[in-house]
């Protein structure tokens, strides 16, 4: 790893630096995977594009609800390009006194240009920094409009990659919005992605396919972040619970997890959180969890309501 500094201002003054080797590949819906692949293909074809007087597009907006993977995707993309990512936090730019935010933007781009290698710029919560310019001559309006103009000028002069994340996309200044040549929406994951996300974060434990499918259905409208917390909290309880003397039967563990891990208030409440341990997905959840699918009993497992559902021994 290397230290990145640019002139007197350090890049880390503006946010965190995420290195390529720390990135993990997100589980993406088909539409997002295609959009990403199209962009990468274009970037890799830079020389051929130059032959027809074009450059690859370098600025993208990622829209999506909280926890849908905007930061994860940007980090993954930067890693595929072999670049460190600077995660710029709006609070590191925004300042109380007149002209200070615009100055901070200038210093940020100076530091990026002075860095010893190219930096992939990622603006988190971009709506709060780049809201539509204000009318009127109030100090607040003049200051905000100056910030936006400075941002526009720096975007135009900057030749590197810039991704900005927004929760809604509306409310961005139209001229800023036009600077972004690519728009990628990170929708909530569909059933297939939910199953893969649960599978990934439950590892090294494995779930029979029927249980995975039931859990995924009970988690409709869950963000990847919520699913990750759910799975990781179950694993944490499996390790810590017995040492701490907690009741460790399935319903007790799952109900503690549902209590601890809360869905984001802006997203709908997934069924598992409204129904709780009475949910069909809980009676389908194997207990104790195993790391080898063959370790689960092959016999048919009774579930709530007397219905009989076969557990898939192979789990594929
Ligand atoms: N598509 C995905 N596949 C696997 N894991 C994911 C995916 N999306 C998000 N995660 C996990 O969920 C967590 C939150 O993701 P991330 O921070 O990227 O979301 P975000 O959209 O940037 O959220 P915010 O709006 O709060 O900034 C991370 O721990 C990440 O590993
Ligand atoms: Mg984020």
Domain boundaries, the chain: 5-186, 191-309
Instruction: Specify the residue with its C-alpha closest to ligand 1, atom 24.
Output: 66
State both tokens at 107. Answer: 């210093």
pLDDT of residue 169: 56
Q: Name the CATH architecture for the domain at 191-309.
A: Orthogonal Bundle (1.10)
Q: Which CATH superfamily is domain 5-186 in?
A: P-loop containing nucleotide triphosphate hydrolases (3.40.50.300)
Q: Is the CB of 64 under 6 A from ligand 1?
A: yes
- What is the tens place of the pLDDT at every residue in 113-164? 999 999 999 999 999 898 888 888 888 888 889 999 999 999 999 999 999 9
Mean pLDDT throughout 14-28? 95
Q: Are 76 and 23 in contact (CB under 8 A)?
A: yes
For residue 219, how far is the Cα from the chain centroid? 17
Q: Is the CB of 32 under 6 A from ligand 1?
A: no
As a 3-state breakdown, the chain gives helix, strand, coil percent values, each rounded to 5, of: 50, 15, 40
pLDDT of residue 311: 44
Q: Is the CB of 66 under 6 A from ligand 1?
A: yes
Q: Could you tell me the pLDDT band of residue 6, with boundaries at 50, 70 and 90?
A: very low
Q: Could you tell me the pLDDT band of residue 310, with boundaries at 50, 70 and 90?
A: very low
Q: Which residue has the higher pLDDT, 199 or 10?
A: 199
β-pairing, 85-88 vs 120-123, is parallel
pLDDT of residue 104: 94
Q: Is the pLDDT confidence value at 297 over 90?
A: no
Helix (H), strand (E) at residue 237: helix 224-244
């Amino acid at each position: 790893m290397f230290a990145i500094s640019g002139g007197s201002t350090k890049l880390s003054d503006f946010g965190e630096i995420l290195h390529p080797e720390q990135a993990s590949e997100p589980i993406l819906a088909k539409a997002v995977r295609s959009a990403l692949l199209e962009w990468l293909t274009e970037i890799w074809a830079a020389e051929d594009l130059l032959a027809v007087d074009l450059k690859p597009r370098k600025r993208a907006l990622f829209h999506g609800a909280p926890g849908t993977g905007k930061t994860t995707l940007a980090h993954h993309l930067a890693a595929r390009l072999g670049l460190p990512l600077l995660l710029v936090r709006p609070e590191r730019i925004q300042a109380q006194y007149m002209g200070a935010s615009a100055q901070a933007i200038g210093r940020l781009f100076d530091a990026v240009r002075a860095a010893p290698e190219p930096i992939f710029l990622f603006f988190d919560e971009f709506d709060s920094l780049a809201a539509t310019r204000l009318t009127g001559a109030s100090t607040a309006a003049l200051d905000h409009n100056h910030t936006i103009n400075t941002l526009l000028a720096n975007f135009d002069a900057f030749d590197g990659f810039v991704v900005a994340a927004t929760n809604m996309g509306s409310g961005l200044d139209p001229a800023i919005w036009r600077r972004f040549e690519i728009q990628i929406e990170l929708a909530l994951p569909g059933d297939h992605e939910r199953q893969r996300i649960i599978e990934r974060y439950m590892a090294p434990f494995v779930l029979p396919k029927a249980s995975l499918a039931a859990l995924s259905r009970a988690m409709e409208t869950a963000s990847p972040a919520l699913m990750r917390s759910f799975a990781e909290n179950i694993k944490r309880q499996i390790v810590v619970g017995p040492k701490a003397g907690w009741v460790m039967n399935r319903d007790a563990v799952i109900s503690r997890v549902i209590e601890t891990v809360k869905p984001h208030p802006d997203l709908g409440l997934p069924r598992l959180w409204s129904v709780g341990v009475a949910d069909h997905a809980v009676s389908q959840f194997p207990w104790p969890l195993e790391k080898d699918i063959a370790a689960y009993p092959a016999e048919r497992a009774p579930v709530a309501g007397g219905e009989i559902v076969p557990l898939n021994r192979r789990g594929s």
